[in-house]
Amino acid sequence: MAGDMSDLIRVLADLCTGCEACVGVCPTGAIQMREGTARIGDACNLCRACVSACPAEAIEVVVTGRGEVGEGQGVWVFVEHRRGQVAPVVYELLGQARRLAESLGTQVTAILAGEGVAPLAAELVARGADGVLVVEDPALGDLREEPVTTALADLVGERKPEIFLFGATALGRSLAPRLAARLGTGLTADCTGLDIDPERRVLVQTRPAFGGNLMAVVVCPRHRPQMATARPRVFRSLAPDPSRQGEVVTFPVDGSRLLGRTRLLEYAEEVIETVKLEDADIIVSGGRGLGGPEHFQLLFELARLLGGAVGASRAAVDAGWIPYYHQVGQTGKTVAPKVYIAVGISGAIQHLAGMNSADVIVAINKNPQAPIFKVANYGIVGDLFAVIPALIEGIKRRRS
């Protein structure tokens, strides 16, 4: 391959002073000096660090037909719903979309597809949408991926959003890639951070990879919309504000085009006796410090009082004290509760990988050197067999 990026980014030879400022800032080492002028090779990822660094303004990014940068306007949020209930992640995305839209000086639009869903629009406005685009058709009723992709692709083609966000749910992680492939644009999965780089006007997407051991910062510089899925419970939803005003517009759709080759035959909720670990707002988790399986009863009692679930470290699971499906960490479940109470857990990296996005971490451990205290918002060095009963009593007293 010839090292030619000139259709995407180029150095204006008559302006280039040969100062080499660009060479130093290029993160991919793509720029070399040739005959006193900078040349950009095909290692370039169009990050534009050189454009900002060049004192002579000699480097320009060529906006090609493929790229159409700047054409998009507005931040969109896909509204996932089931049986008339909006998925909580939608409100979280609306809260984050507001922040993004305010930095961009644009609007937040909730995209509401389905059948008989228009009544959900008011709450979407109260939760941060400036407008709601409603697409209704019987073919969209169960939110099957193919007809919804077609409807969303039509909307995107018509209105050209700049950013389109989905919840990283089973549906979002199946629908969003289908739509991204239809549109030929980029999609970043499971984001835990979404921000705007005002200089480049791009969405800066941060996501975990390698099981949470690494974070990657991903951009989609030339294609619109910039699409991302975001994990539930990462962003905060705004408190509903019923006084907010927003325009609800119904977008007409030709139902005969909404073909799908999958059909939902049955939807069966699984019987779950306790709160699911992944869905719990509060998790009380136990480790080796519990000393034996019988002591998990204390944690179950505390979790029940808090309306939470019980987790465990790998050490406790490996010891056979509690079943595997309670395990939190790299090789267990990844959780992001509001509060994570680690009891008798030392805090190995592989455990932290599964819970460090909790809003509040409480550590109770008798060893003051335990690494768990480094990630804890509240640390208690002490005997868990004294502290946990005191917590249980304290909660009961507050409730009575």
Q: Which residues ranging from 256 to 285 are in contact with other proteins (CB under 8 A)?
A: 260-270, 272, 276, 279, 281-282
282-311 footprint of other proteins as x/- string (CB under 8 A)? x-----------------------x-----
Residue nearer to other proteins on the CB measure, 257 or 276: 276
Rounded-to-integer distance, Cα 52 and Cα 381, Å: 50
Residue type, 51: V
- Listed in sequence order, the residues at least 6 apart from 19 whose beta carbon sits closer than 8 Å to its beta carbon are 55, 56
Window of 15-23, 158-166, 173-181, 237-245 that interacts with other proteins by CB under 8 A: 173-181
Asked if residue 339 binds other proteins (CB under 8 A), the reply is yes
Beta bridge partners of 343: 286, 364
Asked if residue 106 binds other proteins (CB under 8 A), the reply is no
Q: How far is the CB of 158 from other proteins (least distance, A)?
A: 20
* Binding to other proteins in span 206-265, by CB under 8 A: 208-223, 260-265
> Which residue in the set 96, 107, 330, 346 belongs to the binding site for other proteins (CB under 8 A)?
330
Q: How far is the CB of 33 from other proteins (least distance, A)?
A: 21
Residue nearer to other proteins on the CB measure, 246 or 344: 344
Q: How far is the CB of 12 from other proteins (least distance, A)?
A: 22
- Listed in sequence order, the residues at least 6 apart from 150 whose beta carbon sits closer than 8 Å to its beta carbon are 182, 257, 258, 259
Residue nearer to other proteins on the CB measure, 19 or 392: 392
Q: How far is the CB of 35 from other proteins (least distance, A)?
A: 26
Beta-carbon-side half-sphere exposure of residue 272 (alpha carbons within 13 Å): 12
> Which residue in the set 101, 113, 189, 312 belongs to the binding site for other proteins (CB under 8 A)?
189
Rounded-to-integer distance, Cα 168 and Cα 189, Å: 7
Q: What distances in angstroms separate CA 4 from CA 16, 31, 122, 241, 307, one per listed residue?
A: 18, 11, 51, 53, 60
* Binding to other proteins in span 37-96, by CB under 8 A: 42, 45-47
Q: Which helix (H) or strand (E) holds 151?
A: helix 145-159
**DSSP string of 198-212, one letter each residue:** TTTTEEEEEEEEGGG
Window of 14-22, 131-139, 170-178, 241-249 that interacts with other proteins by CB under 8 A: 170-178
**DSSP string of 80-114, one letter each residue:** -EETTEE-HHHHHHHHHHHHHHHHHT--EEEEEEE
Asked if residue 198 binds other proteins (CB under 8 A), the reply is no
Q: Is the peptide bond before 138 cis (omega within 30 degrees of 0)?
A: no
Q: Which residues of 279-301 are buried (b: 16+ CB within 10 A; e: fewer)?
A: ebebbbbbbbbbeeeebbebbeb
Q: How far is the CB of 255 from other proteins (least distance, A)?
A: 18
Asked if residue 154 binds other proteins (CB under 8 A), the reply is no
Q: What distances in angstroms separate CA 296 from CA 68, 283, 284, 317, 323, one per listed residue?
A: 58, 13, 10, 11, 11
Q: Does residue 381 contact residue 366 with C-beta atoms inside 8 Å?
A: yes
> Which residue in the set 106, 107, 109, 188 belongs to the binding site for other proteins (CB under 8 A)?
188
Asked if residue 354 binds other proteins (CB under 8 A), the reply is no
Rounded-to-integer distance, Cα 120 and Cα 108, Å: 16
Residue nearer to other proteins on the CB measure, 127 or 207: 207
Number of residues engaging other proteins in binding (CB under 8 A): 94
* Binding to other proteins in span 359-398, by CB under 8 A: 359-363, 373-383, 386-387, 389-391, 393-395, 398
